[in-house]
Structures are given as C-alpha cells and as structure tokens.
Amino acid sequence: MTLPPNLAGRLSLAIYQGATALITPILPWHLKRRQNGGKEHANRWREKIGHAGQPRPKGQLIWINAVGLGEVMALRGLIAALHAARPELHFLVTSSTLASAETFEKNLPPRTLHQFLPLDTPRYNRRFLDHWQPNLALWSEQDIWPGLVIQTARRQIPQALINLRMAPASFRRKRLVRLLFRTLYQKFDFISAQDAQSAAAVAELSQRQNIQIGGSLKPHCPPLAYSPAAQQEFLGEAGQRPIWLAASCHAADEDVALQVQRQLVEQGGSHLLILAPRFPDRRAEILAKLSGLNHAQRSRGEAPNAQTQVYLADTFSEMGLWYACSNHALIGGSFCTVEGHNPWEALQLGCSVMHGPRVANFAADYAALNAAQAAIQAPGPDALYAALQAPAARGLAGFERLQSEYRAQLDDLTRQLLERLRP
C-alpha cells in the first residue's frame, strides 16, 4: 500500500520528532562533554537546550537563522537594509558553531542579538519559541531544523527561506527523503534562491513554482570590523613592503601560497605572507611547513619584523584586520574540495582578490567578479605569482559597479520580507 504524498510527509515528520524527543534526556550530557573539550561555549552552551541567554527586547522581532561562520556573516547586509527600512525592529540571529558566534559578536549589526540555535527537539524548541516569540522567522541558505520549522508554523509565525543555495550533491541527498522536504518547504510563506540551479532544485522538491531568484546576500555586507590602531601597529612592525594574505586557507591553499612565497624570497622579494587558516587549531601542521622561512605566530603574541617572511595568523575573528593590512588576498578553499570561500569580504576592505580553480560554492559570485575584472583566477603557483605583480587596487572599480547592480535585488527582498512581518 502506497501512502498519499502529504500523509507520507507528515508521517516522516512524526517519526523524526518522536526520535528527537526520545534522545532529549542525553543531550545536555552530550553538550557538556563537548563543552569540556572546548567545542561549545563555556558559558552559553545552555542556549542549545533552549534557555535564552538574554531577555527578549520589546517590540517586533525578526529571527534569522544561519548555521556556520560564512552564512551568519552574510546576514549583516540584509539586517542593515531591514533596519534602514524599519528602524524600530529588533533582530535575533541564531547559529550553531562556536566560530560563528565569536566572529559575529564582533560585527553585530544594529539592534541585533545572537543566540545559539537550540538542538531540534520538541522540548527545546518550545522553550526557545516561548521566550523569543518572533514576528517573522527567516532561514538562510539550506540548513533547516524540521521540528523547529513545524513548531514555528503551528504558532502561525510567518517563515521565509532566503539566500538559498543548493549544490547538486545536496539536492540528490534531499531527493531521497523528498516527501519530508516537500512538507517542510510548504510551510514557508516565501522562498528566494541565490541562482537558477538552486531555484529549480527547491521547486522540484517543494512542488512550488513561485521560487524567486535574488542573488547572494554576501555582496551587500558592511566591511568586517577591525581596529585602525591595530592595523597601524602591525604595518609599522612589518615595515614598508608588499603584504599578501592567504585567507581562510586549507592545506592545499597553504601549499600553493608557500610555494609562491618561497619563489618570491628566492628572487629577492621583500613580500610578507600572512597565513590565516580557516581552522586555527591546525597550527602545528602549518608550522611544520614553514621550515626555512622566517616566521612569527599570532597566538603566541609574536609580532612581525622587517625580516619576517610568513606571519601565521592563527586566531579567530581578526580577518578584517588581515584584509585591511594586505594588498592582495588569495581566497582559501579554492585549491581543494572545499570549493571556495567568500571573496566579497576582501574587496569590501580594498584588498584585491585572487582564487584557485575550485570555487563551486561561489560559482556565480566568482563568475561575476571575473567578468567585471574584480578578481583573478590563478590555476596554479605560476599564475598566482604573476597575479601578485598587478597593482594593489586592481578590481575595486568593477567590485563597486557590481554592488550597485545588485542593490535592487536586496531592496526587493527587504520589501517582500517586511510585507510578511506579523503585527
């Protein structure tokens, strides 16, 4: 016997919620173990079981969820636009990772609070919604909590799925449980995708045809925060010479960057390379690669000097400083299976952008930037070496032109979301 699709979807959700209810008693123990291992916030881990860390502000509140560091930071431009349109609104941003919380709190938009998203169990979700009572719920990119979507819908809180990006591999996984996702996507009042491929994927899964294409939120973000005094101090210590950055780098990106830096050194160049790894806890692995290069390490409190050839920026939440100090940035994840990181943050701080050949996560962004001559693709070390010889301000005019073109998309998204705000 084959169940009707709607009934099969509801049954899948019921099974999911029943399973999460069963494991609820062991989740605090699990979080405490992670906290003891440094994987959860020492003082805020209880937010993940629905306990609010701050009071709810009075007035209308928009709750926006994104999972990790890049997704959360991309929300800042949208929040600024919503605030400009309705200055009295308050915003609650939730995320799941420790790095996202630490970095976002140093770059908080106006009238915005941050909390960790509760684990997706009925008890924790009720506790979260009872406290925050949002007037509109926004889910950004593609990760959604099924239980929390359903409980939010039951309270008749409008929900929108925005900035959706769905890679082919993710689409194939979701198709295996498409009846579940069809039921979930039907709970959203509005869905906006970054590109045509993502829009087509969610249209098939949801059986909805009114999916909008609104582009990425990342070009609209304000520059990352940094201290001008710290910038001047670092530049004074490093000396008057070219500085370039490997930003949010992974092992393969570091290997290419270090090969180029060694070539620069051998040819008598005075360049300083700042290595800012995506995961600073890889510092021991990275230090092992620096044999023969004069280096200093941020986490040890070491400053560069005129002889330093590589500076290991192995700390969190200082990427704004490193972009502000650098002439050029190689954006990490573009020489490995990670498939790229955000290129817009560098340009927003006047730092020219270079990238490797693997940028599937930001394919539309890099295509637009390359077409506007606002970024350079460097397939390997030789091309990267050549790109470093270009003027430091390369690409900034093309970047500003793109920002202006994309502004209409952000204005339209802002309008549509405010129309759905519950009184």
**Order of strands across the sheet that contains 90-95:** 112-116, 90-95, 61-65, 136-140, 159-164, 190-193, 212-213
Nearest CA-CA partner of 120 in 40, 188, 23, 12? 23
Residue 303: what pLDDT? 96
Rounded CA separation 64/54 (Å): 16
Per-residue pLDDT band for 5 (boundaries 50, 70, 90) equals low
Rounded CA separation 6/182 (Å): 8
Nearest CA-CA partner of 407 in 164, 220, 142, 165? 220
Residue 47: what pLDDT? 96
Residue 364: what pLDDT? 86
Beta-carbon contacts of 110 under 8 Å, excluding residues fewer than 6 positions away, are 79, 80, 83
SS3 label, residue 178: helix
As a whole number of Å, the CA-based R_g of the chain is 23
The pLDDT mean for the chain works out to 93
| Superfamily name with CATH number, domain 228-403 | Glycogen Phosphorylase B; (3.40.50.2000)
Long-range contacts of 362-371 (CB under 8 A, 24+ apart): 362/216, 363/195, 364/194, 364/195, 364/215, 364/216, 365/216, 365/218, 365/219, 366/340, 368/402, 369/343, 369/395, 369/398, 369/399, 369/402
Sign of CA dihedral 353, 356, 357, 361: negative
Nearest CA-CA partner of 47 in 125, 103, 99, 106? 125
* Cβ 177 vs Cβ 12: under 8 Å: yes
DSSP 292-314: TS-EEEGGGTPPP-TT--EEE--
Residue 186 in tokens: 């039907």
Tell me the average pLDDT across 28-32.
93
The ranges assigned to domains in the chain are 5-215, 228-403
Q: In the predicted model, is pLDDT for residue 2 greater than 60?
A: no
The reply to whether 5-215 and 228-403 are identical in fold is yes
Q: In the predicted model, is pLDDT for residue 283 greater than 80?
A: yes
**Residues 244-258: pLDDT tens digits?**
999 999 999 999 999
Q: In the predicted model, is pLDDT for residue 83 greater than 60?
A: yes
Residue 394: what pLDDT? 73
Residue 412: what pLDDT? 95
Tally of CB atoms within 10 A around 199: 19
Reported CATH class of domain 5-215? alpha beta
Least confident of 218-232, 271-285, 351-365, 382-396: 382-396
Tell me the average pLDDT across 1-27.
81
Residue 4: what pLDDT? 63
Give percent of the chain with pLDDT exceeding 90. Answer: 82
**Residues 145-164: pLDDT tens digits?**
999 999 999 999 999 999 99
**Residues 102-129: pLDDT tens digits?**
999 999 999 999 999 999 999 999 999 9
**pTM for the structure as a whole:** 0.87
